[in-house]
Amino acid sequence: DGGITQSPKYLFRKEGQNVTLSCEQNLNHDAMYWYRQDPGQGLRLIYYSQIVNDFQKGDIAEGYSVSREKKESFPLTVTSAQKNPTAFYLCATRTGHEKLFFGSGTQLSVL
């Protein structure tokens, strides 16, 4: 996961609270992605961005929001509308058509 920093490693959310997960990269990659991982569910795409100031919804975007103001940063906000936020969240980057690089993840839990 060199070059991709996700923080924090663990995060706890109270009912009704919005929380933001950070993803920073120094690989100079154009595309960035957010995945959610639940046991037995594989990797589900939340949002992705191919260039700065542009992003697209993935398969499970409801209850989440993102921004891409800088090439290096792609923060994910888990809003209070996401009723089941407990999961392992993974940020990834990619340049061109092939290899996807993943960060080390953030485990989000509900208090």
Partner 1 sequence: QQQVKQSPQSLIVQKGGISIINCAYENTAFDYFPWYQQFPGKGPALLIAIRPDVSEKKEGRFTISFNKSAKQFSLHIMDSQPGDSATYFCAASRPSGNTPLVFGKGTRLSVIA
Q: Which residues bind partner 1 (CB under 8 A)?
A: 1, 4, 30-31, 33, 40-43, 45, 48, 50, 58, 90, 92, 94-100, 102-105, 107
Minimum CB distance to partner 1 smaller for 4 or for 108:
4
**Residue 64 burial class via C-beta count within 10 angstroms: exposed 0-12, middle 13-18, buried 19 and up:** buried
Minimum CB distance to partner 1 smaller for 16 or for 96:
96
Q: How far is the CB of 102 from partner 1 (least distance, A)?
A: 3
Q: Give Cα 12 to chain centroid, integer Å.
A: 16
3-state helix, strand, coil in the chain (%, to 5): 0, 55, 45
Q: How far is the CB of 42 from partner 1 (least distance, A)?
A: 4
Minimum CB distance to partner 1 smaller for 31 or for 80:
31
Smallest CA-to-CA distance from 44 within 28, 58, 23 is with 58
Minimum CB distance to partner 1 smaller for 12 or for 17:
12
Q: How far is the CB of 64 from partner 1 (least distance, A)?
A: 15
* Cβ neighbour number for residue 2 with a 10 Å cutoff: 8
Q: How far is the CB of 15 from partner 1 (least distance, A)?
A: 26
> How long, in residues, is the chain?
111
